Structure 1
Amino acid sequence: MKLESEWIQEDVVLENPLLKLSLRGLKYYGVLLHRSQPWKKLNCFRAIFFTISMFAFNITQYVDLFQVWGNVSEMTANASTTLLFTTTVVRVLHLYWNRARFNAIIQKADQVIRHILHQGTEEERQILNENVVYMRRLTVGFWIFAMITANTMCVYSLIQYYGTQPTERSKWMHHPPTILRSWYPSSNLVDHFAIVYGIQLYIMCVGQLIVPCWHVFVVSLMVFVRTVLMILNYKLSNLRLYEISVLRDDFPVWESKRCQLRKKLLIQCTQLQCDIYDFTRELENLIKGAVLMDFLIFSVLLCALLFEASVTASVVQVFIDVLYITTMTAILFLYYWHANKISYHANCLSKSVFSSDWYNYPRSVNRHLLMMICCNRKQLTMKAFFVSMSLDTFIAILRASYSYFTILKQAVD
């Protein structure tokens, strides 16, 4: 693993308000490092150890899936965690492979945010601060909910084991809940419960670190794009205010000076528009594989969770399944909702241009406005190859999941 050329600057990790929480999580996992961080090779080793252990655990889950093949109830209970760990391992490997490109867009986002904080107007900083508060609440809320879901599964397994009579434990251990489905050291499962539970508790803790961290990291980059588009819309619809802030007085001012300032502002907006479009395309290229995998897998995963909740007799297990379903649905919703918001704010640029006082300026100035409108003719829609990231796609995934569930339910009944 290359370390020297692909570090993240320390100030990016510690000061970027939009990305700070997610980048700290990736740093603790060991995927992304910064220049002044001590024991860099040890941190890299930690990330490699976490990833290899998750990969090995995921292989045993597929072995277990093969062993219970044909038993629909056991298969769906297995698939609910197996598919999630598969997507997680693929994401971590993808981040390893493309860490230089991820670092580049993080640096780019940091530069733009620093420019807004130090050189932007009060209104621009207010838009940024509102999105920072929004991202922090979203991050904390998603982390808390994900941790509640995972830890409820762990605690429930422990309570079930110690709440069962010793003479009944060996019978119960042949049908453990999802958290205890693999990594059995021997056929005498009761005697090795502590080892089995400890191994899988460790895997669950690693998953609690990387799963919310990755999703929040990607969503924070999407919120960054939305923030810049919101600021750009504000600038285009309030060009006159920017001129007044520079000239300090609207009249009397030489007409040529006002036109030159307007041209300069429009050129800056056009450059910002091109930069954020390029940033979005690079982000799309980096996450389209993972999003497509979610599109193909999450329908099956949600179907498995729905079926497991419908056949279990335990109220607590149903509650866990509901939490799990909500978490998985929230992950999909965060991606498609923010991609939809990016498309919406990008499409508003032409309206913002038209809402300015363009009629007070000659054609030589308005030519730059026409250039922006022409650049905005092609919609900024994020895609995962052939899958459009929009709310319509999100609803289609939910419909497909429910359709799979009803077909499976009818087949079993």
Structure 2
Amino acid sequence: MYKVKELLLRPESFEDPLFRIHLRCFQVYGYVASIEQRHPWLALIRCTIFTASIWLSCALMLTRGFLARGYDNINDGATSWATAVQYSAVSIATLNALVQRKRVVHMLRIALADLQQLRLEADEEELDLMHSTQMYVRTITLLLWVPSVVAGLMAWLDCIYRTIFLPQSVFNMVAVQHGEAQPILLFKLFPFGELWDNIFIGYLGPWYALGLGITTIPLWHTVITCLMKFVTLKQQILNKRVRDMDIERFKSDLVLQQLTVAELKHWHLQLCNSFVAEQLKIRRFVLELEQLLRIPVMADFIIFSVLICFLFFAFSVGVPSTMDYFFMFLYLFVMASILFIYHWHATLIVECQNELCFALYAVDWYNFSLPVQKMLLFMMMHAQRPLKMRALLVELNLKTFIDIMRGAYSYFNLLRSTHLY
């Protein structure tokens, strides 16, 4: 079991441009804490309550489907089941983050320390790479957060309007259960009231569960995106420095014209050693990231594949309402985006690793001494070792993502043909 002091970050960490938004959200939920907090142990309690809340919300939605009266047709249950299954996936992810909280904080510390060091050492080209990475992460964050927030606001505003002007459609659960009234959008997504018809679970419960969903689902996946993009940033900078092979940058007080052949060889070898150390550090970070991701991404692989197939089937055999269409499309977009960002960024890591060999060959190796040439050759051989990420049985790359989409479509065609006959 970890200690509270192992989970603390320095205050300036929460101002880092790459992780700022995500770390502040993590601090609210209790996954990380600042050393300036008066009672940092409260973060652990808050994190535990938060994780338990997601599991409870998931259990209520699944219980409604399995033990309550079920759904009269596939359209009525499509959005509720899609919500429940998405909560199942995020429940696994948040529990995994809680169990591996020490690893998460350790990786964040490494990333933040490296980013701070890079800003001190970076030249103009490297600063441009860092700035483009920050803009990229913000774009990905917006692409996942905006649809979730918009959908949540729609459900909340619909509930507020009907509570004020049409209270009979909100609080008359008996009529809803008998099919005499339609549930409001919030209760259609989170039908807790059909299990416990009281104000706390049936009414306030969906409000709280929706708040958890629209923040937690995009938050977890965009944090991982930040970590994966940080790896590619480190690889890009390493490849750039390898191509430059600038010993003056490695040791700023050197004057090339005053160095002897032996001294030049010594500093070139030292520079190569620093490249090897950096590459090994990147490999260790990727291995830690793989250990963090393998269970939740494998769960996403299974759950989202089935759910994508189910939603396509619901589109084809039923007559969804306009709101059902909107939420089904939203779920398809979010699930496909989540799967894509994992497999896409894992592919980028592999591609940047492959570029290291070309960067080593691109230097003027023929002008270096024989020991330096041998060192570069060994580095090229080491760089050819694959830097792939796996989620238990599944390799993360674009080919796997395409196979997931093909598989979901194949299962959908099978279900549709069975239904027609």
TM-score (norm 1): 0.89
Q: Which runs of 5+ in 2 are unaligned?
A: none
What's 2:238 paired with?
232
3-state SS of paired residue (2:293): helix
Bigger shift: residues 3-12 or 329-338 = 3-12
What's 1:179 paired with?
189
The aligned runs of 1:359-370 (5 Å cut-off) are: 359-370=366-377
Work out whether residues 229 and 345 of structure 1, in 8 Å CA contact, stay in contact via their aligned partners in 2. yes
Bigger shift: residues 21-30 or 2-11 = 2-11
- Answer yes or no: is 1:278 the counterpart of 2:310: no
Bigger shift: residues 71-80 or 13-22 = 71-80
Bigger shift: residues 109-118 or 71-80 = 71-80
What's 1:19 paired with?
19
Distance 1:242 1:318, change over 3 A: farther
Bigger shift: residues 60-69 or 83-92 = 60-69
CA deviation digits over 1:348-407, x for unaligned, max 9?
Answer: 100000001111012111122112111112111111122111111111111222222232
What's 2:95 paired with?
93
Equivalences, count: 409
Bigger shift: residues 378-387 or 302-311 = 302-311
What's 2:328 paired with?
321
Distance 1:278 1:402, change over 3 A: same
The aligned runs of 1:13-412 (5 Å cut-off) are: 13-66=13-66, 67=68, 68=70, 72-156=74-158, 170=176, 171=179, 173=181, 178-184=188-194, 196-240=202-246, 246=252, 251=257, 253-310=259-316, 311-412=318-419
Work out whether residues 7 and 32 of structure 1, in 8 Å CA contact, stay in contact via their aligned partners in 2. yes
Distance in 2 (CA, whole Å) between partners of 1:276 and 1:407 is 44
Q: Which runs of 5+ in 1 are unaligned?
A: none
Bigger shift: residues 79-88 or 307-316 = 307-316
Distance 1:331 1:153, change over 3 A: farther
Bigger shift: residues 287-296 or 1-10 = 1-10
Work out whether residues 291 and 384 of structure 1, in 8 Å CA contact, stay in contact via their aligned partners in 2. yes
Amino acid aligned to 2:135: V
3-state SS of paired residue (1:381): coil
3-state SS of paired residue (1:378): coil
Distance in 2 (CA, whole Å) between partners of 1:153 and 1:308 is 21
Bigger shift: residues 306-315 or 382-391 = 306-315
Bigger shift: residues 173-182 or 261-270 = 173-182
3-state SS of paired residue (2:5): coil
Distance in 2 (CA, whole Å) between partners of 1:34 and 1:409 is 53
3-state SS of paired residue (1:5): helix
3-state SS of paired residue (1:237): helix
Bigger shift: residues 279-288 or 136-145 = 136-145
Amino acid aligned to 1:409: R
Bigger shift: residues 59-68 or 252-261 = 252-261
Post-superposition shift, 1:124?
2.4
Distance 1:183 1:368, change over 3 A: farther
CA deviation digits over 1:316-349, x for unaligned, max 9?
Answer: 3212221221111111111111111011001110
Post-superposition shift, 1:306?
2.5
Query: What RMSD over aligned residues (CA atoms) do the two structures have, in Å?
Result: 2.9
Distance in 1 (CA, whole Å) between partners of 2:121 and 2:381 is 28
Work out whether residues 340 and 389 of structure 1, in 8 Å CA contact, stay in contact via their aligned partners in 2. yes
Distance in 1 (CA, whole Å) between partners of 2:250 and 2:35 is 43
What's 1:9 paired with?
9
Distance 1:194 1:9, change over 3 A: closer
Bigger shift: residues 60-69 or 151-160 = 151-160
Distance 1:121 1:400, change over 3 A: same
Distance 1:172 1:343, change over 3 A: farther
Amino acid aligned to 1:216: T
TM-score (norm 2): 0.87
Distance in 1 (CA, whole Å) between partners of 2:43 and 2:5 is 16
Distance 1:195 1:381, change over 3 A: closer
Distance 1:244 1:267, change over 3 A: closer
Post-superposition shift, 1:123?
2.6
Post-superposition shift, 1:173?
4.6
